[in-house]
Structure formats: structure tokens, C-alpha cells
Amino acid sequence: MGRRAPLVILLAGLPGTGKSTLARKLARRYRLEHISTDSVRKRIFRDVKKNSFGRGSYSQRQRNVVYDTIYFVLYTLLKHGIGSVLDGTFYQDKLRSKVGRICARFDAKFLLVIVEAPEDLIRKRFEDRAKRNRRTLSDADIKVLEKYRTLFESTNLPHIKVNMADDHYKTLEMIGNAISERSSKKT
């Protein structure tokens, strides 16, 4: 009897939609490693500053380094049979497709989840974050949201969509059902 195929859940979506909150819940529930673009950025670029989008710590070159690091970590984890939940905008379909290709190489179960939330909820989250003036991993704000809104590509990859304004139990159940579906297709 072979080893169970590792699970990789990719949470992609605009900033402020609740990807990180959902990722933490999924990582605990399915015993997965949680890898976020925000965390990787802050670990690699120790002097991350809140720059304008496309400059400094958030330049295209820096974004490429962050995604390349995530791919390397994912590859290494899968090589050892360890699953993960990836959390970031993954705003281009080529970024999502690369995760799918790495998963296929290791025969891992891959679930792409597009995370959405209503505009008013996202704005409230950014306002609350600014009021608390507490450091978080994410530096995103309304300006970053607007920029990513123009860059975010739709996908032709198999995926599910969740709305973080919905009941979280319902969202977790929906993701659990999609994982079960993928598990039954692998057997």
C-alpha cells in the first residue's frame, strides 16, 4: 500500500478577502504547512517597507523572488510527502498553473480556491487594521487592492470560489467537499 498523496490547497484572491484567516484554519484542520506570500516576503526582505505598489519591497523583481521561493518550498515539502496551504494573491494564472504543475509532478492532490469578499467588508478590514495600528504580515491597503483588481486574472484551471462573507463553517464544508471529490478521483 502506497503513501497517501499530499494535499495542496492554493488560496488566491485580492488583498483583504480573508485568505490568511482561511489558510490558518485549513492548515490546522488538515495538518498542512501554511506558506504565505506576506510571510515569505518579510523573511527574505528583512527591511520590508510599506512601498508604493511596484516599487521597493513590492517591485516585480521582489514579487518574482517571493513566488520562486514559494515554489521551491512547495517542491521540497512535496518531495517529502508534506502537504501545504498556500496563501497569496497569485494574481496571474501562470503563477497558479505552476503550483498545479509542481503538484502533478508529485501526484499531490491540488485544490485551487479563489477567495472573494464584498468590497465593503474588505474596506472595513483595511480601516480596522489602520485604526489598530498593529503590525501585521500584510501591508495591503485600498491602493494595493485597486492595483491588484486591475491585474487579477481569471482562471481556466479547475477551482472553487468561496466568499468570506459567508458562514465560515459553510466555507470549510465546501472546501472539505472539494477535497473529498479530488480524493475520490485519485483512487
Domains of the chain, by residue range, sit at 7-186
d(CA 36, CA 137): 9
Residue 80 neighbours by CB under 8 Å, 6+ apart: none
Homologous superfamily of the 7-186 domain (CATH): P-loop containing nucleotide triphosphate hydrolases (3.40.50.300)
pLDDT of residue 123: 77
Per residue, the 3-state secondary structure of 15-26, as one string, reads: CCCCHHHHHHHH
pLDDT tens digit at each of 187 positions of the chain: 457 889 999 999 988 888 999 999 999 999 999 999 888 887 887 665 554 444 454 677 888 899 999 999 999 999 999 999 999 999 999 999 999 999 999 999 999 999 998 888 877 877 776 666 655 556 666 677 678 788 889 999 999 999 998 888 999 999 999 999 877 665 4
pLDDT of residue 62: 83
pLDDT of residue 53: 43
Q: Is 75 strand, coil or helix?
A: helix
Angle between helical axes of 93-105 and 60-79 (0-180°, round to 10)? 20
Phi, then psi, of 87 in degrees rounded to 5:
-135, 115
CB 163 within 8 A of CB 117: yes
pLDDT of residue 137: 55
